[in-house]
Every structure is written in structure tokens, then in C-alpha cells.
Amino acid sequence: MKSNLKHMHWFPHSADLRNDRRMKRAMKDLPGGVGYGAIVLTMEVLRCEPDFKYPLEDLDLLATEFDISLPILQTVVNNYGFFEIVEEELGKVFFSPILNELMVPYLQKKQQNKIAGDISAKKRKIKQEQQLYLLSQLCSTQQMFDDCSTGVQDNREENSITDNNRGKNKLSIPNFQIFKEFILKHYKNKTVCFGPLDYLSTTPISITSFGFLHNDFSNKDLTPEKAILVWQWMFHNQDKLCKS
């Protein structure tokens, strides 16, 4: 059933349709499988239509496709109760009430999947906005701290990495905004640190492709509240970050 639901032109089909009294009448009037075949083929065509309806004026095209005469197909559509004809703005169309009823579970499942997808997308967007907001707040706080501490920004704060050539290769990025941009760029899909989510500071933290902080141990993205704490910790403990 799961694989069938993924097929855009799938529809359920009763295995004993031939025993339906209406079908028995069609098979008696149009023997040799003509009645049964014409009905099922017409249902297949309707299933492929966006609204499960087909223009009555194009019935001759289906007759040619099915390799049967137009009068036979007209008899199938007008008799036996498998199809109904209605007048619409652009002309007459026909549909199958039986097919429409059979498609209800499929359409419900399709709608549920769409709703679930929309909810998931909204959650991701909200989560991203929350993290961006909290990070912006931290950036503002850090900027105020920098302004109060130094009075002016030293041009040297724009340097992204310093190498003391003594084998330690420590990060030294005084400005938080530059630090954050560096981390997001260079550690995407990589482990960036071990900590500080437990007292041993051994929890592996990585950057996802969406720019979220991710707990590799629990395989879950950090909540915005925990993410901001980790960003603060990383900024003040740059020497403890992984090197790549």
C-alpha cells in the first residue's frame, strides 16, 4: 500500500468487480470482455485527469484509443451506473462516482502528507528565525561590550585567524560576529566542539547544513536556548574548538 500511494496514477480496484450486478449486465450486453474492458479503461483515463473528469465531446478519442466503436463507448458511459454526465461552464463532462469514492483514502492521505510537510517546513523556519534572533541579540550584547571596553574597534579585530607558529594554531577572533561567520563557514557539516552540555564537556557539537548547532550524541538540533549558550561558550573558549 505504501508504494502504491506514491504512484501518482494509482487507484484501488476491487478484485470481484466482475460480480457487480451492473458489471454483469454490461458483460452480457457487450460480451467478450468488451463491456468490462471499456468500463475499467475509462476509469483509468478518469484517474489520470486532474479532477477525475473527462470532456464528453472527446469521447471519440477514447473510442479510438480503446479500439472500440463510439456507440459502444457511449453505451458504457450512459448506461450501467458506472459514470455520470454533468454540465459545466466549458461543456459536458463525465465522471465515475465509484472511482471518486475509491479515491477518498488516497486523497486523504495525500492531504495529510501535505499538511505534515507544511507543518515541518514552518517548524524549521521558526526554529531558524529563533536562532537567528538569539544570535543577533548576542551580537548586539557583544558589540556593546566591545564598545565599552575598548572605545574604538581595532582594525586587528577583523583578522579571522592567527597562527603563533608554535604548534598550537589557536583561533583568536575578538569580534563575535566575525567569529560566528567563520564557524558557520568552516565547520558546516563538521564537529566544531566537544561541550558544554554536560559537566565533562564531552558532548560533540556540529554545524548542520542549515546552520543549526546539532548534538551529535542525541542526534538532535539544539534548542534556541541551548544554542545561544553553546555559542557563548565557543566564543569564550576558542582554544577548545576542533581544528580542521
Same domain flag for 210 and 136 = yes
Q: What is the CATH number of the domain that holds 60?
A: 1.10.10
pLDDT at 39 over 60: yes
Examine the fold and report which residue of 46, 77, 102 is the final residue of a domain before the chain moves on. Answer: 102
Domain membership of residue 39 (yes or no) is: yes
Same domain flag for 73 and 131 = no
d(CA 171, CA 156): 14
pLDDT at 37 over 70: yes
Domain membership of residue 211 (yes or no) is: yes
Same domain flag for 123 and 236 = yes
Q: Provide the H-helix boundaries in the chain.
A: 2-5, 21-29, 34-48, 59-66, 70-78, 97-102, 104-150, 176-186, 224-236
Q: CB under 8 Å to 90, separation ≥6 — which residues? A: 55
Domain that holds residue 177: 119-240
Which pTM was predicted? 0.45
φ/ψ region of 86 (left if φ > 0, alpha if ψ in -120 to 50, else beta) reads beta
pLDDT tens sequence across 71-90: 999 999 999 999 999 999 88
Same domain flag for 171 and 231 = yes
Same domain flag for 63 and 174 = no
The pLDDT of 52-81, averaged and rounded, is 95
DSSP class of residue 239 equals G
Examine the fold and report which residue of 102, 130, 163 is the final residue of a domain before the chain moves on. Answer: 102
pLDDT tens sequence across 111-130: 677 676 677 777 777 777 66
Residue 76: Cβ within 10 Å count = 27
Same domain flag for 128 and 235 = yes
Same domain flag for 200 and 234 = yes
pLDDT of residue 44: 92
- The number of domains in the chain is 2
Same domain flag for 92 and 123 = no
Domain membership of residue 108 (yes or no) is: no
Residue 176: Cβ within 10 Å count = 22
Q: CB under 8 Å to 226, separation ≥6 — which residues? A: 197, 213
Domain membership of residue 113 (yes or no) is: no
pLDDT tens sequence across 176-193: 888 888 888 888 888 888
Same domain flag for 184 and 234 = yes
